[in-house]
A and B are shown apart, each in its own frame.
Chain A
Amino acid sequence: MSPRAVIGIDLGTTHCAMSRASLDEGAVAVAVDVMQLVGPSTVEAKRLLPSFLYFGAEAEGPLPLPWDDERTIAVGELARARAVEAPARVISSAKSWLCHPGVDRRGSLLPQGAAADIEAISPVEASYRYLDHLAESYAQAYPGEALGDQEIILTVPASFDAAARDLTVEAAQAAGFENLTLLEEPQAALYAWIAGHGSSFRQQLRVGDVIIVVDVGGGTTDFSAIAVSESDGAFELTRIAVGDHILLGGDNMDLALAHVAKQKLTAAGKEIDRVQLAALTYAARSAKERLLSDPDLASSPIALAARGSQLIGGSLRTDIAQEEVSRTLIDGFFPVVQRTARPISRARAGLTQLGLPYAQDAAVTRHLAAFLAKQASAAGGSGEMLRPTAVLFNGGVMKSTRLRARVMEVLSSWLAEVGAPPPRVLEGGDLDMGVAMGAATYGLVRRGRGLRIRGGTARSYYVGIESAVPAVPGIEPPIVAMCVAPFGMEEGSPVTVFPEELGVVVGEPVRFRFFSSSVRRDDPTGAQLESWKDTEIEELPPIEVTLPAEGRRDGDVVPIKLAASVTEVGTLLLEAVPSEPVKADERWKIELSVRGDREG
């Protein structure tokens, strides 16, 4: 069935959101509320779907939805509430696991520390469950219009690596999304901003602008830079740089504030348990919002309900002072730092590998300084930092005017030091729904209704080949990194074939070390690097290809070339093309490893 609408889906670490733009002439994106369980047997349509999955207990009976009486799992609000009450039965932050290179991402590892009766699932399956829930809810809102039949734009963090993108696509295909395209979240936020301003956005942007998107969501922080240029009198937007994946977001901030309140209660001799700490986090969030929005307020009271029915006399009372918010949130997460500051990394204890690789430095501003320095030459200039001229904020955290002001203050001081003017703020974005709305808008833009952001892949990719040198005990043979996919490859751009021939053994899996860079923009396919800086190139999990026999003998060594392209969906495709094919158009897909058995 041909699509009737473009659907934008924001598959977030802590929340999902969905929007719809009809393909009829003149239509714009509208939010689609998501029906979900809000209590064990009550449903409500809500703007956001919390990305939590709860495995019901048999004794509780089913968790019925209007469209399925026998459901035994729940996605959304109820699941989020149960995450506190029964943590061993709930999956959270599946998306962060999806891009965790240290684990087998198709392995059944969620929920972490699952209760004995639960059949654990993979991060991919959890993502599929969220998408499937969106599809089911959509069918209720738009009867007779299956989500899977529509054109779907699914957003991913700009910092997602090629393997995490592949896995996201895998989850979407399991949910029956055939007509699928991936879009980077910060780009989606900019599309939403442009759509929100109609044609007046042209007055707000200037040729030569470098916009940075500062996206601080519930679980992750993501930076991108987008340049405004002109060609034949028309505006052009190009995404010129993306940042690293940083697991740091609003949840960390709420928790930090909850701990401040908890310490005060403990100091006063009050005990609070796990469930109360969660309630405290909730209360701390509202106190934070009040204090951040009104700097004249000296403090905001926090009342913590007794767990039993004796509310009066059993409830606890404390408060959060304006000064504590300033110290914990503004100075803790957005400290005033030098432009030369870099995130602090500590040596980790050996066992932390099992958990999520949370950012070790909680300072968003230090991560921002590192991003601007690393991408110093992204806009073509030279110098020690990228010089943004405009800032677009996204993500729930950045709703706070004081936090936005702090980011602008720090950024302006860095720019003043290098003799650049302070950047402008692009006002008027919808910080919760922007990504979903922007995704649907992008669907219309692709059909020629609006200005498109170009950019292609935000990284270049390399395979590591060992040099043929005499073996020396204890010393690893040197590695040469050969570029297989250059920076900025776009969907539909010609396949690049790596000129060097490599030998692979028929019938045996052959692995290559795999690297990528978000800064080396000029390496052509086939470029060979014998040395590089650690900050330039990072090693990814290895890639693997197995040549099926198919007319060849097991154990034979077959010469192949590596070919790279970007699929229509927006994922990187690496293929092995034999130099002497035994049939027409012979090629094998090279798997991006997601098994987390990287050495070292």
Chain B
Amino acid sequence: MTRLWFAWACFFRVLLDGAFAGRAWAVRDRLPELPSAQPSPTSPPLAEGPTDEELEEAREAAQAEGRTEGRAQGALTLLSLLQSEGRFVDFIKQDITAFDDQDVGTAARVVHDGCRRALKDRVELSPILDQKEGAAVTLDKDADRQAIKLTGDVPGKAAAVKGTLKHHGWRAKGLKLPEPTKGHAHDIVFPAEVEL
């Protein structure tokens, strides 16, 4: 009964109050996907068909595929961005051996300038450890082993260690990439150009 009343109230607020509609929409977007395979108590039992486990597996496989595809698309967007702004792909694909350092240097400036611009404002990169490289560092027992890699005489058991900082590492915060719109071809990293 309460739900009926609430649905009724929401119906009118969504219709009449734009801001409420916007908030409701945003909340709806954030809700986790309802397990669609779960038969509701009132729906008739399935006569035959996939079992719950099979459905679950199929859904997980589809989700995994979606994730892989999404990852690939994101990566291609980034590649496309580095190419359009900084000619990254051109640089990597060209055979560098025949050129002298001056030519390579000139091209490197193009790539450096443009790729820097492409990443600016889109991802915040900061060192993981603040100390100077070459400095002595002490890591306590439960230092984040994903963020800090130990090399050399690595102890088998978790323990506080002392060592020399070789590379300060990089941590990325919030990668913001351009969003594809309808008809976006992810495989086009950079279009061919024909001047008329």
Taking the nearest CB of chain B, how far is it from the CB of A21, in angstroms?
A: 16
Asked if residues B94 and A43 are in contact (CB atoms below 8 Å), the reply is no
B18 pairs with A1, CB closer than 8 A = yes
Chain B residue contacts of A44, Cβ below 8 A: 176-179
Nearest-neighbour CB distance to chain B for A149, whole angstroms, equals 8
Chain B binding surface SS class: helix
Q: How long is the Cα–Cα vector from A66 to B184 in the complex, in angstroms? A: 12
CB atoms of B178 and A311 under 8 A apart: no
In the complex, chain B residues 14-33 whose Cβ is within 8 Å of any chain A Cβ: 17-23, 25-26
Q: List which B157-194 residues lie within 8 A (CB) of chain A.
A: 176-185, 191, 193
Contact across chains for B87 and A39 when beta carbons are under 8 A apart: no
Within 8 A of A (CB), among B69-109: 77, 80, 84, 87, 90-91, 93-94, 96, 99, 102-107, 109
- Judge whether A312 and B179 touch: CB under 8 Å: no
CB-based nearest A residue for B88: A311
Interface pair B181/A315, CB less than 8 Å apart: no
With the chains together, A196 CA to B173 CA distance in Å? 28
Majority secondary structure, A binding face: loop
Contact of A312 among B21, B22, B103, B178 (CB under 8 A): B103
B19 near A145: Cβ-Cβ < 8 Å: yes
A144 to B25, CA, bound (A): 9
User: When the two chains form their complex, are residues B180 and A311 in contact, meaning their CB atoms are under 8 A apart?
Assistant: no
0/1 per residue, A128-154, Cβ < 8 Å to B?
000000000000001111100000000
B96 touches A312 (CB 8 A): yes
List A contacts of B113 (CB < 8 A). 283, 286, 303
Report A16-54 residues with CB < 8 Å from chain B CB. Answer: 37-44
Chain B contacts for A303, CB-based, 8 A: 106-107, 109-110, 113
Q: Would A311 and B21 count as touching, CB distance under 8 A?
A: no
- Pick from A66, A301, A310: contact of B94, CB below 8 A: A310
Decide: B179 and A42 in contact? CB cutoff 8 A.
Answer: yes
- For residue A81, which residue of chain B has the nearest CB? B84
| Number of residues on chain A facing chain B (CB within 8 A) | 36
Q: Does A309 contact B (CB under 8 A)?
A: yes
Asked whether B184 lies within 8 Å of A312 as measured between CB atoms, the reply is no
Q: Which of A4, A37, A41, A283 contacts B183 (CB 8 A)?
A: A41
Q: Which of A57-65, A533-541, A580-588 contacts B (4 or more CB under 8 A)?
A: A57-65
Chain A proximity of B157: nearest CB distance (Å): 48
Residues of A contacting B20 in the complex (Cβ-Cβ under 8 angstroms): 144
Q: Does A121 contact B (CB under 8 A)?
A: no
Residues of B within 8 A of A38 (CB): 178
Across the interface, do B185 and A317 meet the contact criterion of CB distance under 8 Å? no
B residues apposed to A, CB below 8 Å:
17-23, 25-26, 77, 80, 84, 87, 90-91, 93-94, 96, 99, 102-107, 109-111, 113-114, 176-185, 191, 193
Interface residues of A (CB under 8 A from B): 1, 4, 37-44, 61-62, 64-66, 69, 142-146, 283, 286, 301, 303-305, 307, 309-313, 315-317
Q: Which 7 A-B pairs have the closest CB atoms?
A: A143-B22, A144-B22, A144-B18, A303-B109, A42-B178, A41-B184, A317-B106
